Amino acid sequence: MGHYLSITDAQKQQMLHAIGLNAPEDLYAAVPAALLHNAALEIPDGMSELETLRTMEALAAKNTVYPTVFRGAGAYRHYIPAIVSAVTAKETFVTAYTPYQAEISQGILQSIYEYQTMICTLTGMDVSNASVYDGASAAAEACAMCRDRKRTKALLSAAAHPDVIEVVRTYCWAANTELQLIPVKDGLTDLDALENMLDDTTACVYLPQPNYFGLIEDAPTAARLAHSAGAKLIMGVNPIAAAVLKTPAECGADIAVGEGQPLGLPLSFGGPYLGFMAATSAMMRKLPGRIVGETTDADGNRAFVLTLQAREQHIRREKASSNICSNQALCAMTAAVYMAAMGPGGLREAAVQCLSKAHYMAARISAVPGFALRYKGEFFHEFVTECPLDREGVLSALSEKGILGGLPLPDGGLLWCATEMNTKAEIDVLEDVLREVCAK
Amino acid sequence: MDTPKNLKYAKTHEWVEFLDDSSARIGLTDYAQKKLGKLVFVNLPLVGDELSLGQPLGDVESVKAVSDVISPLEGNVAEINEALLDAPGLINDDPYGAWLVKADDITNNDDLLSAEEYDAFCESEE
Amino acid sequence: MKLLFEKSVSGRGSAYLPQCDVPVVTLSAGFTRETDLALPQLSENDLSRHYSALEKRAYGVNDGFYPLGSCTMKYNPKINEKIAALGGFTDIHPLQPAQSVQGCIDVLSTAEKLLCEIAGMDAMTFQPAAGAHGELTGMLLIKKYHELRGEGKKRTKVIVPDSSHGTNPATAVMCGMTVVSIPSGSDGCVDMTLLREALGEDTAGLMLTNPNTLGIFDKNILEITTLVHEAGGLTYYDGANLNAIMGIVRPGDMGFDCVHLNLHKTFSTPHGGGGPGSGAVGCKAFLASYLPKPQITVEDGAYTFDSDCPESIGKVKAFYGNFLVVVRALAYILSLGSSGIPDAALHAVLSANYFKKRLSEKYTMAYEGLCMHEFVMTLEREAKENKVTAMDIAKALLDKGIHPPTMYFPLIVHEALMAEPTETESKETLDEAAGIFLAVYDAAMKDPEAAHLSPRLTAIGRPDEVAAARTPRLRWTPEQP
């Protein structure tokens, strides 16, 4: 029933006549009769807008929105200033295509250029692309950037996010290249093991920062080890943590990638998210995806344009290093508005509050018998605790109070997260509920 | 531009300047640079790489296209013209001066055309 | 126009967060950032105005006719935006327990069923974030299939017509395969003789879109897919052009084993200036166990995600895909329903043929006769004889406030302009646009010099792309003059 057509039946007849056809079916004359799907599609009849809205609202109502979230593990609930959605809802930005016609797309191209600049300052790197699908595929693309004829092996920390590991593994299998996992010791990437694994076939080392367990890695040592063996270092960084942690550039990384969701994108059940990729200028031409550059027009006006396109698939075709075509433009704009709204002070404040509240929470939880902190290393806003009881029972009890508790890990622990969205009061309630559950 | 008489040419529009029996410089002809348009980047092989007759030794990029540079002989890459990495436009400005690679240990360099033969070939392509 | 960084003044900002209500913790010195975080500092007022100014220097489907071939710039329904903004979708953490996300999984499962019916497939994943990402996923299904049959090392060639999207051969290479590009016949379709020659024991598969990038439906499609299957290969459908045939012809019925769909093209989700999209991948039952994990199952009458998928290719993205994009596509499909879907396709083909007919008064078409949802014009003769190129026409159109068609694609047509009006344009818009296209042609032929100088009325003139590529400036730095 719903449709978005303007052509009336009368106009349809006029148009058919102008083309020289009699009936609408004639438009498909080139299709062999056997291929025409003559039956009606076995999908429901169309609906009015109101019915569609009610149907989708009913689906949304079947999901639980937790008032209190203490779970991260790759998707983080942060405060999103209202200006962010006000900007990204602007119709022209929402409904534009990729800015191939630079003359009428300066607004979009400039916003990407600004985004690229912000990612560079966040990570300390020299050049950024216009974004890729997410942090996990960014990690996989980064590994591909480091390959050459002799070096194709990727060493990936086993302390990376399980989805990052799985995606990189899939991309390496796709390209017929080897992937090895660097073992974990006390929650951190085992750099001694890494040293023994590096050889002259190693293309890259991937180190998460912070890692999956929330711990902060010794990135400069990893960089030194990788470089001594002739390999590159890729760091996968949390963009909020980047405001207070040593930048990938300071650590000696060649490429910095990460999941940009914390920069103003809602949880969204996993997507759309944002993969950022930044690199040293030496690696600039290896970056996949779109890149916006600055130039001038014939009158000397500042002009932004998609550049270095000869890297990309629509030109290189089978010689392209990646098939990636689109970026996540509106998500990149979201991140840019967020970073500009928060500014350096705001982003640092968000990071400091994440760090502080997580430490407050870790102290409160680990004070409850049986919920000891598992690892000793310094952490950012996530940490693992043990759990003395059946975890499903604990999490249900929390759920009843509207709390999404820590993520149960395969080996029995719970991975907790605190952000600037969590209040001291919420954390105190958490401790009370945990004590209550233990008392039963 | 006149086609220099002292060079040899391939049908894939590379020129060869023999320095002696077993070493030569390779570049792109004026015909090639005109067809390619303004070049923005050159992907050169590494020193020590093998050159195989008829196989790509690298490529050149314009804004909207990529074209392989085909090796007109067999040999090894002795030197690459690093200046082109920062200034690929030199190929457009001075195609017969802007060499891409210097090859040595050359074998099999038959089928190269003289300047006249190359000019005739280009005419037939039009 | 100034950049945010050029408007930045130290000390400006807004107060978005309350004071920290717990003791402040600092990192040890060895972990602490030392480099300045040089993000711009603006008041919210100035920030808001900045983006409003940027919006005025952009152009979307909401602003006007956008006949970009191969992109399907159809109207993006507003109700979909409202639905995708519901808190019950946006505020859901991807790692919540299954019983708390039944609505989300239902969205994915329902979208799967509806799109499988439309595409003629048996199973679907929404993990890929874009068309190219979907291609990678689909080709990996094919790679897995051959590997499990012990033919992974043997079957490494992917056949692709020379009219294909550039992503097709690039994808094949990402899958460790090599590309066999077969020239199209003089009718723009797959050359059957060359196809037969290319097929063999080393064939992994064929990647094809139908209708093809010339807007032509290849009538030999059943024979093509049969030949590939007989040679032991599988067939992959690039769904970029599905808008011509959705609900009328199904890729599954054409003999394709797996497909990708561009939800941001065919299914009305907005392009966002270049993403986010969604490249859903559907497949026949025999490939379903290879789909990325986790896969949706039903346990005790409730939806859940199963990560124990031993034959899965793995993952191509974290979590489940661009969920909010799938939400929009689902709303669209539910709105249009069983008759609205084929009706949209029919009107897309009607509009394209009508527009083509009008433009044929002056423009040379690459192929005569009926087209599907898009068609290709060529300025080859005009370029040779009058020095008027496809680029000139496109840039002159910008001065008339119209977004030009796709330029210089497909590569097999010289000086190509590919137009796809879509079904959501009114006849008045098509007539007006046709008039402008014809006027622009006449003006350019009369005064090619003026055409070379266009656009003159846009925010900037033609940018110097050579300088941009030769001397890349990819970020703002304070030292820049």
Distance separating alpha carbons of residues C213 and C411, to the nearest angstrom: 10
- A309: contact with B, CB 8 A cutoff: yes
**In C, which residues are within 8 Å of A89 by CB distance?**
81
Q: Specify whether domain A68-79+344-439 bears CATH 3.90.1150.10.
A: yes
**Best of C389, C414, C465, C466 to mutate (most B CBs within 10 Å, chain B):** C466
Mean pLDDT across A47-54: 97
Subunits with at least 3 CB pairs below 8 A relative to chain C? Answer: A, B
Contact C48 A87 (CB under 8 A): yes
**In B, which residues are within 8 Å of C469 by CB distance?**
40-41, 61, 63
Q: Residue C408's closest chain B neighbor by CA?
A: B64
- State the pLDDT confidence band at C122, using cuts at 50, 70 and 90: very high
- The string of pLDDT tens digits covering residues C243-290 is 999 999 999 999 999 999 999 999 999 999 999 999 999 999 999 999
Regions of chain B short of the pLDDT cut 50? none
Q: Which CATH number does the domain housing residue B81 bear? A: 2.40.50.100
Is residue B1 included in any domain, yes or no? no
Which range among A384-398, A425-439, C105-119, C164-178 shows the weakest confidence by mean pLDDT?
C164-178
CA B43 to chain C, closest CA, distance in angstroms equals 13
**In B, which residues are within 8 Å of A312 by CB distance?**
none
Three-class SS of chain C: CCCHHHHCCCCCCCCCCCCCCCCCCCCCHHHECCCCCCCCCCCHHHHHHHHHHHHHCCCECCCCCCCECCCCCCCCCHHHHHHHCCHHHHCCCCCCCHHHEHHHHHHHHHHHHHHHHHHCCCEEECCCCCHHHHHHHHHHHHHHHHHHCCCCCCCCEEEEECCCCCHHHHHHHHCCCEEEEECECCCCCECHHHHHHHCCCCEEEEEECCCCCCCCCCCCHHHHHHHHHHCCCEEEEEHHHHHHCCCCECHHHHCCCEEEEECCCCCCCCCCCCCCCCEEEEECHHHHHHCCCCEEEEECCEEEEECCCCCCCCCCCCCCCCHHHHHHHHHHHHHHHHHHHHHHHHHHHHHHHHHHHHHCCCCEECCCCCCCCCEEEECHHHHHHHCCCHHHHHHHHHHCCCCCCEECCCCCCCCEEEECCCCCCCHHHHHHHHHHHHHHHHHHHHCHHHHHHCCCCCCCCCECHHHHHHCCCCCCCCCCC
Subunits with at least 3 CB pairs below 8 A relative to chain A? Answer: B, C
Residues in B lying within 8 Å of C, measured between beta carbons: 38, 40-41, 61-64, 87-89
Residue A326 is predicted with a pLDDT of: 76
**In A, which residues are within 8 Å of B41 by CB distance?**
285, 308, 310
Residue A407 is predicted with a pLDDT of: 98
Contact B41 A310 (CB under 8 A): yes
- State the pLDDT confidence band at A325, using cuts at 50, 70 and 90: confident
**In B, which residues are within 8 Å of A285 by CB distance?**
41
Cβ proximity of C401 and C451 under 8 Å: no
Distance separating alpha carbons of residues C450 and C455, to the nearest angstrom: 9
Distance separating alpha carbons of residues C454 and C449, to the nearest angstrom: 9
Q: Is A156 helix (H, G, I), strand (E, B) or coil?
A: strand
Number of residues that this document lists for chain B: 126
Is residue B59 included in any domain, yes or no? yes
Cβ proximity of A404 and A422 under 8 Å: no
Question: If residue B17 lies in a helix (H) or strand (E), which one and from where to where?
Answer: strand B14-20
Which range among A98-102, A320-324, C259-263 shows the weakest confidence by mean pLDDT?
A320-324
Mean pLDDT across C174-188: 91
Number of folded domains that form chain B: 1
Cβ proximity of A216 and A379 under 8 Å: yes
CA A162 to chain B, closest CA, distance in angstroms equals 37
CATH code of the domain made up of A82-339: 3.40.640.10
- The string of pLDDT tens digits covering residues B49-82 is 999 999 999 999 988 788 999 999 999 999 999 9
CA A315 to chain B, closest CA, distance in angstroms equals 6
**Which residue among A285, A308, A315 sits closest to B65, beta carbon to beta carbon?**
A315
Q: Residue A320's closest chain B neighbor by CA?
A: B66
**In A, which residues are within 8 Å of C14 by CB distance?**
81, 341, 343, 346
- A319: contact with B, CB 8 A cutoff: yes
Mean pLDDT across C151-170: 90
- C21: contact with B, CB 8 A cutoff: no
Please state the domain extents for chain A: 68-79+344-439, 82-339
**In A, which residues are within 8 Å of C153 by CB distance?**
none
Q: Is A4 helix (H, G, I), strand (E, B) or coil?
A: coil
Exposure b/e, C133-149, CB count within 10 A at least 16 = b: bbbbbbbbbbbbbbbee
Contact B59 A319 (CB under 8 A): yes
Cβ proximity of A311 and C361 under 8 Å: no
- The string of pLDDT tens digits covering residues A125-171 is 999 999 999 999 999 999 999 998 899 999 999 999 999 999 999 99
- A150: contact with B, CB 8 A cutoff: no
A-C contacts (CB, under 8 Å) = 679
Mean pLDDT across A386-415: 96
As a dihedral over the C-alpha atoms of residue A186, residue A189, residue A194, residue A200, rounded to 10 degrees, the angle is 170
**In C, which residues are within 8 Å of B61 by CB distance?**
469
Q: Is the pLDDT of residue C481 over 60?
A: no
- The string of pLDDT tens digits covering residues C19-75 is 999 999 999 999 999 999 999 999 999 999 999 999 999 999 999 999 999 999 999
**In A, which residues are within 8 Å of B66 by CB distance?**
310, 315-316, 319
Is residue B3 included in any domain, yes or no? no
- State the pLDDT confidence band at C480, using cuts at 50, 70 and 90: low
Range of the domain at B61: 8-125
**Which residue among A310, A316, A319 sits closest to B40, beta carbon to beta carbon?**
A310
